[in-house]
């Protein structure tokens, strides 16, 4: 399993904001067919890393490869079309649109044909649109929110919004799925159910990068974990090894010196 080539490679990525080093020489690989956890204290650079992978930021130095091809420097929509999808730390749905339309927006293929075909009442366009609607509906079913598909997304509960957002990201058929704290605001039971859902999303040609503060979830679903602190990788390995790593424990719990200062 460790022989599969990396889907995503980060080569000494740095990103500075003024004098702040949000990421400082981060290198890591994410392999297809795995769930890769990314953990670290607040401000460690996790979300910055997602914004780099999706093209919303450019690295100050270093580069990112997807399937061996440069990813950084492309515009966000091009990166999305190459198979990178994300969810947001604070859910960002199109709140005025019905849940199913949120998912349909992500089905880009044939957009022009479907739209101009609709102008001319072409039956093929209507058929294509129905097919996309069926895909969207099926994704909502997969995540257990199909009953809410016609409700405005903004009126859904927080948990249901997270599910719709995940369905929307999946609708792009991503090869790299970036989940930014998907369990935030969920209780233990909901988090465990989310863990099962995430495990079910894994495909041989897909990698999932899971950013999470919930360590039990990370331990339960991840094949590999990278730990960031102050923009640097301080540990990497399988979850069990990470949990015992002194550097990780120090980053999360502080050293005895810190306690003394308190």
Partner 1 sequence: MGGLGDAINTWYASNNNLINDSGLNAILALSVYVMLACGLLSLASPAYMAIGAYIAALLSNNTGVPFPAQMAAGALLAGGVAFVLGLPLLRLRGVYLAICTVGFVAIVQIFFNTWTPGGGGNGISIPAATTTWQIYLILVFLCFLLWRLEGSALGRSLSAIRLDEEAARSLGIDTIAFKLGAFALSGVLAGLMGVLYARLHYYIDPNTFGFDTGLAALTYVVVGGSLTTIGSPLGAILITALPEWLRGLNDYRTVVNGLILLGVILFLPGGLVELPRRLQSLAREGVRRLGLARKDGG
Catalog residues that contact partner 1 under the rule CB under 8 A: 54, 56, 75-77, 80-81, 85-86, 88, 92-97, 101, 104-108, 110-112, 114-115, 118-119, 129, 132, 168, 172
Least Å from the CB of residue 77 to partner 1 = 5
Please choose, from the candidates 39, 35, 48, the residue with its C-alpha nearest in 3D space to the C-alpha of residue 7: 35
Shortest approach of partner 1 to residue 188 CB, angstroms?
A: 29
Give, in degrees to the nearest 5, the angle at Cα 240 between 211 and 192. 50
C-beta closer to partner 1: residue 36 or 107: 107
Query: Whose Cβ is closer to partner 1: residue 177's or residue 207's?
Result: 177
Structure tokens at 69: 């091809």
Q: What is the DSSP string of 16-50?
A: EETTEEEEEEEEEEEETT-EEEEE-STTSSHHHHH
Q: Nearer to partner 1 by C-beta: 65 or 105?
A: 105
Min CB(96)–partner 1 separation in Å: 6
Burial of 2 (0-12, 13-18, 19+ CB in 10 A): exposed
86 vs 206, beta carbon nearer partner 1: 86
**Least gap, CB of 181 to partner 1 (angstroms):** 16
């Amino acid at each position: 399993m460790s022989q599969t080539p990396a889907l995503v490679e980060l080569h000494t990525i740095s990103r500075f904001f003024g004098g702040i080093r949000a990421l400082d020489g981060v290198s890591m690989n994410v392999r297809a067919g795995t769930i890769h956890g990314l953990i670290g204290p607040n401000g460690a650079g996790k979300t910055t890393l997602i914004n780099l992978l999706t093209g919303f930021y450019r690295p100050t130095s270093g580069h990112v490869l997807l399937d061996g091809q440069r990813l950084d420097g492309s515009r966000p929509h091009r990166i999305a079309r190459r198979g990178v999808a994300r969810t947001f730390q604070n859910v960002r749905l199109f709140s005025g649109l019905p849940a199913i339309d949120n998912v349909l927006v992500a089905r880009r293929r044939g957009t022009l044909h479907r739209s101009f075909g609709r102008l001319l009442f072409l039956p093929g366009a209507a058929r294509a649109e129905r097919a996309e609607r069926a895909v969207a509906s099926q994704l909502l079913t997969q995540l257990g929110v199909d009953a809410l598909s016609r409700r405005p997304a903004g009126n859904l509960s927080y948990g249901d919004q997270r599910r719709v957002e995940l369905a929307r990201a999946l609708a792009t058929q991503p090869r790299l799925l970036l989940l930014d704290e998907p369990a935030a605001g969920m209780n233990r039971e909901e988090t465990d159910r989310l863990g099962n859902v995430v495990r079910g999303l894994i495909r041989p040609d897909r990698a999932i990068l899971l950013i999470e503060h919930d360590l039990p979830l990370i331990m339960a679903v991840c094949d590999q974990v990278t730990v960031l602190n102050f923009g640097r990788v301080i540990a990497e390995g399988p979850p069990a090894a990470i949990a015992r790593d002194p550097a990780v424990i120090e980053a999360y719990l502080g050293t005895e010196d810190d306690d003394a200062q308190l």
